[in-house]
Chain A
Amino acid sequence: MDLFVTLGINGLATGMLIFLLASGLTLIFGLMDVLNFAHGGLFIWGAYSGVWFYHLTDSFTVAIVTAIATGLVLGLIMEKVIVKPVYGNHIQQILITLGFMLVLQEVIKVVFGPHQIAVSPPAFLDGSFVVGDVVFIKYRLFIILLGLFVFIATSYLFSKTRIGLVVRAGVIDKEMVQSLGINIKLVFTAVFMLGSALAALSGVLHAPYSGVLYAEMGLEFSILAFIVVIIGGMGSFRGSLFAALLVGLTQAFMAYYVPALSLATNMLLMTAVLIFRPQGLFTAKA
């Protein structure tokens, strides 16, 4: 039983990290119809810049703030320079963002060095406490809570506030919203920046969780984010959360019970979803 709970918490924490990553992508894809393969590049830049400041100042809060700032800036640059010329053309989006992904990944090696970087959790989140027979690792609980908070906050932002209303209206009819006196380009840039910031946030949170950072993580996580978004259904927040938790939990249990297959877990999950329910588990409302 306690083993089951431990594995469950591991899975939930991994899933929450994946959700943070995928929620950014689902925003960019679901709302703006941009296939962004550089999403993992934003993830890795968030992680590296955050960790650099974390090691410099020894404050994890500073690390998180830095990561979010990095995500916002990179998101702004990316939307203005890379994505703008290719709105509306999926194949060109894939090509150009893939190119940007490679650049981001290699520039990491130039700026921060090509070697792996070891990261440990901050002091106040290090360690664990024991309830009965079950060990709760503090950092994992912290991630689960933070992930839930982000889910609730973004859901609230997009379904209850005026900003969310504008964005959703803009997705349905761009010209109409524009003619009502709203600068829809600015709104979409902001959405892109928010998605990028979420990717960067998930990057810096992932660093102490996995304990190690390396530049090639970028492409791996780009692919992982896409897998989750496809399983969950493009553009659906709830779908992304559900799919991310599913992927996290499956990984945790597979790694323990069927280690031989654990590497293939994500691919198998996605293949199954594509075969039986190609539109994803949840479908977004227009």
Chain B
Amino acid sequence: MNIRNVDKSTWIYLLIAGLLCVVPFFVTGRSMQFLLIQIFVFAIFAMSYDLLLGYTGIISFGHVMFFGIGAYSTAIVLDRFEATLGAVLLSVVIALVIAGVVSLIVGVLTLRLKSHFYAMLTLALAGLFLVAAEKWTPLTGGNDGFTFRLPPFLRDSLTMYFISLAALVLLFFGLRRLTYSPFGRVLMAIRENEKRTASLGFNVVYYKVMASVVSGLVASIAGVLYILSLRFVDTSVFATEVTIDVLLMTIIGGVGTLIGPIIGAGLVEFAHHWLSGLSDVHWIFERWIILYGTIYILVVIFFPLGIVGTIRAKFFNRPVKGITQKQTEEKPESA
């Protein structure tokens, strides 16, 4: 590849990634490092979500199930086997296989229908996974969860930091490549006008199912990284609240962009950290979810493009279309 052909923005992203490599040597506090790892993990998760919501125009309410699948696969494998690199890799493979199969089944079943059916079936399945994790106590430890041992080389939080960062950078460039490819363009065409895309001869259902599978796979990797950094698993990895969080990250950062969800993840995680710390100062901060909900409403009304989308529209004159426009084709035909 000729180095001159590399996009200017690629250099900027690589520069930011390089800067992030240096950060842990200046920020030494363990809690700060942990927070940064969380941001990377949720950035991966939010990117996978945006591939569905922002690029393909599919909304999912159960995206957390892929996250949870990744988390539980790794935790259970490391709990049952010797904690080695091999076990970690095995658990990643298991997570990918389960997430792939589940997302394929859900996609095939509902993506031929109207958009909200996918949302509801994923919500239902995520609920089933949550119940399974609560009830299948011998395997999952039920509500209490369980701790597990990590392989020695992963115990250092600095290693974990670099692994998460590397995963984020690789997946970011991978997904960017995917969205710039003909495949990604078809996804965006589906988002803009599904009927027209179909009439151009594209098998819309196939593309949507593939988007849902890729998104599920990436989300399960986020789950694996999350649980490796936490060293403890419980049923909260299947909670609907996590999906709501990731939805907020995506829309605040900017739907239909990949850098948006990363920024959104950073903002939301920092906000979590600070606001929950502020609850000693004033009782209203204990109810910080009010603020959350209000931000949701305000963003949808006044700021539907998110941070990145707004900047792009304002300064680069690149209007971002997508889920913000009205859907006109769904109107019922009058008899």
A226 beta carbon closer than 8 Å to chain B: yes
Contact partners of A157 in chain B: CB under 8 A: none
B59 (CB) vs chain A CBs: closest residue = A91
Interface contact B332-A102, CB-CB below 8 Å: no
Contact partners of A92 in chain B: CB under 8 A: 300, 304, 323-324
Q: Which of A77-98 contact B (CB under 8 A)?
A: 82, 85-86, 88-92, 94-96, 98
Docked Cα-Cα span, A260 to B127, in Å, equals 15
Interface contact B296-A102, CB-CB below 8 Å: yes
Distance in Å: Cβ of B153 to nearest Cβ of chain A: 39
Contact partners of B198 in chain A: CB under 8 A: none
Stretch at the interface among A13-21, A61-69, A104-112, A141-149: A104-112
A123 beta carbon closer than 8 Å to chain B: no
Distance in Å: Cβ of A274 to nearest Cβ of chain B: 5
Docked Cα-Cα span, A99 to B247, in Å, equals 11
A92 (CB) vs chain B CBs: closest residue = B300
Given known pairs A92-B300, A271-B125, the reply for A105 and B289 (CB within 8 Å) is yes
A73 beta carbon closer than 8 Å to chain B: no
Q: Which of A163-184 contact B (CB under 8 A)?
A: 172-173
Docked Cα-Cα span, A96 to B251, in Å, equals 11
A82 (CB) vs chain B CBs: closest residue = B297
B244 beta carbon closer than 8 Å to chain A: yes
Contact partners of A278 in chain B: CB under 8 A: 110, 113, 117
Interface contact A172-B334, CB-CB below 8 Å: yes
A118 beta carbon closer than 8 Å to chain B: no
Stretch at the interface among A45-53, A124-132, A239-247, A261-269: A261-269
Q: Which of A188-230 contact B (CB under 8 A)?
A: 219, 223, 226-227, 230
Distance in Å: Cβ of A139 to nearest Cβ of chain B: 29
Contact partners of B119 in chain A: CB under 8 A: 94
Contact partners of A106 in chain B: CB under 8 A: 287, 289-290, 293
B332 (CB) vs chain A CBs: closest residue = A286
Dominant secondary structure at the A interface: helix
Partner of B300, one of A86, A110, A227, A230: A86
A101 (CB) vs chain B CBs: closest residue = B293
Dominant secondary structure at the B interface: helix
Docked Cα-Cα span, A95 to B127, in Å, equals 20
Given known pairs A92-B323, A274-B110, the reply for A99 and B296 (CB within 8 Å) is yes
Interface hub of B113, B284, B296, B325 (most chain A Cβ within 10 A): B296
Interface contact B120-A95, CB-CB below 8 Å: no
Given known pairs A99-B297, A102-B290, the reply for A94 and B120 (CB within 8 Å) is no
Interface contact B251-A274, CB-CB below 8 Å: no
B109 (CB) vs chain A CBs: closest residue = A275
B328 beta carbon closer than 8 Å to chain A: yes
Docked Cα-Cα span, A279 to B191, in Å, equals 22
Interface residues on B, range: 35 or more
Contact partners of A101 in chain B: CB under 8 A: 293
Distance in Å: Cβ of A184 to nearest Cβ of chain B: 14
Distance in Å: Cβ of B113 to nearest Cβ of chain A: 5
Interface contact A96-B120, CB-CB below 8 Å: no
Q: Which of B282-314 contact A (CB under 8 A)?
A: 284, 287, 289-290, 292-297, 300-301, 304
Given known pairs A90-B330, A96-B296, A98-B296, the reply for A103 and B120 (CB within 8 Å) is no
B244 (CB) vs chain A CBs: closest residue = A98
A270 beta carbon closer than 8 Å to chain B: yes
A158 beta carbon closer than 8 Å to chain B: no
B30 beta carbon closer than 8 Å to chain A: no
Contact partners of B131 in chain A: CB under 8 A: 263-264, 267
Interface contact A271-B121, CB-CB below 8 Å: yes
Docked Cα-Cα span, A9 to B132, in Å, equals 29
Partner of B57, one of A82, A88, A91, A107: A91
Distance in Å: Cβ of B291 to nearest Cβ of chain A: 9
A136 beta carbon closer than 8 Å to chain B: no
Would you list 17 pairs from A and B whose C-beta atoms are within 8 A, ordered by A residue?
A: A82-B297, A86-B300, A90-B59, A91-B57, A95-B247, A99-B296, A99-B297, A100-B297, A102-B289, A103-B294, A106-B287, A106-B293, A173-B334, A264-B131, A266-B124, A267-B131, A274-B121
Residues of A near any B CB (own CB < 8 A):
33, 35, 82, 85-86, 88-92, 94-96, 98-107, 109-110, 172-173, 219, 223, 226-227, 230, 260, 263-264, 266-268, 270-271, 274-275, 278, 286
